[in-house]
Amino acid sequence: MSIPRTIIIAGEFADWTIEGLAEFAPLAEKAGIATLVLPDAIAPAAGGEAWPDALILIGWLAAGTTRLHLLARVSSLGHQPYNLARRLASLELISRGRTGWVIDADESADAYAAFSGEARLAGADMTARQREFEDVVDGLLQSWDADALTLDRERAQFFRPDAMHPLDHEGDYFTVRGPLNVMRSPRGKPEVLRAGDLARATTVTSLQAARALIEGLGR
């Protein structure tokens, strides 16, 4: 069996558990898998166990791996662009450049209701809002040039002012001055992918199936 480059974690959280994810991530890395994509699904209104916050999970799993890239499939509904960009940039530093955002533009009814969509977004052009959200996140992730930090004690200069870029964004849905208050990662910024970029990824829906996949790779 060939080694899949990317694995999408899916299914019910009860079929994975925190311990199961902690077990699988280093096994995937050892097997040669390059990337795991984590879901960020909330509990459905009809009942069921929700997934934990994918961005927090990334920080935790990054500590137990060294090469594996960890991406979160996150919707814009539950975030402001500055908040999401700040968390992504922080994870980039924590993981030393192994994180990213898979843009989830599917606005589920449960997520819309959970994040006050009816009050906040009634009448909004959701396609235009999503496009603006992505543009703001991208702009914020480029708030600092790679050589912005000088740390020059003799001249009492911490950074080069010309290397800092306030966004000064004023749009139909967001007003964000910037800059981001997290420095640039060594590789520049986190990966940003869309669902179409995962067309060749392998989806695994339970820890049991994940173990079977790893065992199959060893044959």
Per-residue confidence at 218, pLDDT binned at 50, 70, 90?
low
Closest CA to 19 of 27, 7, 29: 27
pLDDT for residue 217 = 82
What average pLDDT does the segment 98-124 reach? 85
Two structure tokens written together for 171: 């749009």
b/e map of 170-195 (b: 16 or more CB within 10 Å)?
eeebbebebbbebebbeeebbbbbee
126, exposed or middle or buried, with CB in 10 Å at 0-12, 13-18, 19+?
A: middle
pLDDT for residue 195 = 85
pLDDT for residue 151 = 74
pLDDT for residue 159 = 79
Tens of pLDDT, residues 94-103: 999 999 999 9
Q: Is the pLDDT of residue 3 over 70?
A: yes
pLDDT for residue 219 = 61
Average pLDDT of the chain to the nearest whole number: 90
* Sheet containing 99-104, strands listed edge to edge, beginning at the edge strand earlier in sequence: 191-194, 99-104, 69-75, 35-38, 6-9, 202-204
pTM: 0.90
pLDDT over 70 percentage in the chain:
98
pLDDT for residue 53 = 94
Tens of pLDDT, residues 35-91: 999 999 887 777 777 899 999 999 999 999 999 999 999 999 989 999 999 999 999
Among 6-20, 48-62, 155-169, which stretch is predicted with the lowest mean pLDDT? 155-169
Closest CA to 216 of 41, 37, 2, 45: 2
Q: What domains lie within the chain, and their CATH numbers?
A: 6-105+126-217 (3.20.20.30)
pLDDT for residue 104 = 87
**Phi-psi group of 96: left, alpha or beta (phi > 0 → left; psi -120 to 50 → alpha; rest → beta):** left
pLDDT for residue 50 = 82
